Amino acid sequence: MREVWISGAAMTRFGKHSDRTARDLAEEAVMGALADAGVEAADVQCAYVGNAVSGVIDGQESIRGQVVLRNTGLMGVPIVNVENADASSSTALHLAWQALACGAHDCAVVLGYEKLDHVDLGRSFQAINATIDLTELGDVFGPDAHERSVLMDVSAAITYGDGRERLTGEVLAQVAVKNHYHGSLNPCAHHQTAVTVERVLSSRAFAGPLTRLMCAPFSDGAACLVLTAGDVARGRPRGVRIAASVLHSGRGDDIELPYAVIPASREAYDRAGVGPEDLDVIEIHDATTISEVMVYERLGLCAEGEPERLVHERATWLGGRIPVNTSGGLLARSHPLGATGAAQVVELVWQLQGRCGARQVDGARVALAHSIGGWIGADVGAVCVHVLTR
């Protein structure tokens, strides 16, 4: 297997872009990443495009990548459309890494994009709920489930439903405070205003123990990466190395098996030759504050049963022992499903290259991205773990 490098990384600002099309957002991200990598469209040999719900939102199916890349100069290369719920673009990155690592290509574009903003809010709810087994959705939440977003209800029930009552509202609110503070330092974030514990706790009740500010907003945006290997990588600054790329599916209904993130992260550590103690900065899929806290121990960042200790010690803040979600995470940067996984990696590439300004982690050399997609039974539909090194 050859070494694969991320040579370019760019993204749009995430937010409600009612006046912009998906193609417009994709073009901004692609042009930015190509310029960042110092390559031309003619140098790109393949493209992998992650999108989750365009088919539900605007009816575009089948050739979504070809549609949004139509004016970028990339037409004619193999374009692979990847749909894997919230993990669509992280899965696209995994597939592109495989293509370059095995020698099939030397230069690839990975694009993630989403347009969730729609005049019909019910259409957005329908799209988000489609990341869950719809038969199970109706059985659990009733025939009117499609009329509201139940994703956070499912996330809260599954991630909180294993005896973790000690995760108090105060602990969960502190995670939101941290990520919104980090987001206030990120010009690409949807929400760029810091919040207090009091404001988080007093925001509208949403699902289970969660309030609205403990849950990620859904928005629009695009993020792009340029991968190089072989001849294309030689003779140019190599950027950031992909030390490991791992994709697992969730365990479905077999509750005897560990959550998918556990074997996926262990495999990623083994392939990269690092452990959780070596990580300098992490992006976690924090659809809710519960999701972030519970992943701490599943990634091995703390001992089993002690994730709240990291919160109390502020270990995951900028300046802490292991900064988590320096971008603001899904809670503040926000969550355009198909773009989220790529955006996590954009942040980590910038961190490893020392390009993050006020939110920079000093001396960052090893980073991990944790991205999940959808729910199946009692686990996520997919989980991607990427380890990056400088």
What is each CA distance from 126 to 43, 55, 56, 134, in whole angstroms? 39, 11, 7, 10
Contact yes or no for 12/29 (Cβ under 8 A) = yes
**55 or 153, greater pLDDT:** 55
Task: Give dist(CA 210, CA 316) in Å, integer.
Answer: 20
For the cut 90, the answer to whether the pLDDT of residue 242 exceeds it is: yes
How is 11-76 classified by DSSP, letter by letter?
EPPPB--TTS-HHHHHHHHHHHHHHHHT--GGG--EEEEE-SSHHHHT---S-HHHHHTTTTT-BT
Mean pLDDT is highest, among 118-132, 140-154, 259-273, for 259-273
Task: Give dist(CA 85, CA 350) in Å, integer.
Answer: 25
Segment 183-223, tens digit of pLDDT:
999 999 999 999 999 999 999 988 778 899 999 998 999 99
Alpha-helical (H) ranges within the chain are 22-37, 54-57, 64-68, 88-101, 121-129, 134-141, 151-160, 169-183, 197-202, 230-233, 261-272, 289-298, 307-312, 329-332, 337-352
For the cut 50, the answer to whether the pLDDT of residue 131 exceeds it is: yes
Amino acid identity, position 218: F
Mean pLDDT of 336-350: 98
**135 or 238, greater pLDDT:** 135
State percent of the chain over pLDDT 90: 78
Contact yes or no for 106/100 (Cβ under 8 A) = yes
Backbone angles phi, psi at 106, to 5 degrees: -115, -15
State percent of the chain over pLDDT 70: 92
Segment 284-306, tens digit of pLDDT:
999 999 999 999 999 999 998 89
**137 or 348, greater pLDDT:** 348
pLDDT attached to residue 164: 53
Segment 246-260, tens digit of pLDDT:
999 998 778 788 999
**377 or 80, greater pLDDT:** 80
Helices (H) and strands (E) in the chain, counts: 15, 11
What is each CA distance from 306 to 156, 230, 262, 385, in whole angstroms? 19, 44, 16, 22
Segment 16-25, tens digit of pLDDT:
999 999 999 9
Tell me what the pLDDT averaged over the chain comes to: 92
pLDDT attached to residue 268: 98
Q: Are strands 205-207 and 210-211 parallel, antiparallel or unpaired?
A: antiparallel
What is the side-by-side strand order in the sheet with 281-284?
79-82, 46-50, 107-114, 221-228, 5-11, 240-249, 379-389, 366-376, 281-284
Instruction: Give the rounded distance of the alpha carbon of 293 from its chain centre.
Output: 16
pLDDT bin (cut points 50, 70, 90) of residue 34 is very high
Give residues with Cβ within 8 angstroms of 178, minimum separation 6: 314, 316, 317, 324, 325
Q: Domains in the chain, ordered, with CATH?
A: 5-118+220-242 (3.40.47.10), 148-216+246-389 (3.40.47.10)
Give residues with Cβ within 8 angstroms of 14, minimum separation 6: 188, 189, 190, 219, 220, 221, 333, 334, 336, 339, 343
- Its pTM stands at 0.94
Task: Give dist(CA 131, CA 125) in Å, integer.
Answer: 11
Mean pLDDT of 36-63: 96
Task: Give dist(CA 353, CA 240) in Å, integer.
Answer: 8
Lowest pLDDT segment from 208-212, 264-268, 315-319, 370-374: 208-212
Task: Give dist(CA 115, CA 136) in Å, integer.
Answer: 26
The region that residue 368 occupies, defined by phi over 0 for left and psi between -120 and 50 for alpha, beta otherwise, is beta
Segment 132-183, tens digit of pLDDT:
888 876 665 565 555 555 655 666 665 555 545 568 889 999 999 999 999 9
pLDDT attached to residue 163: 45
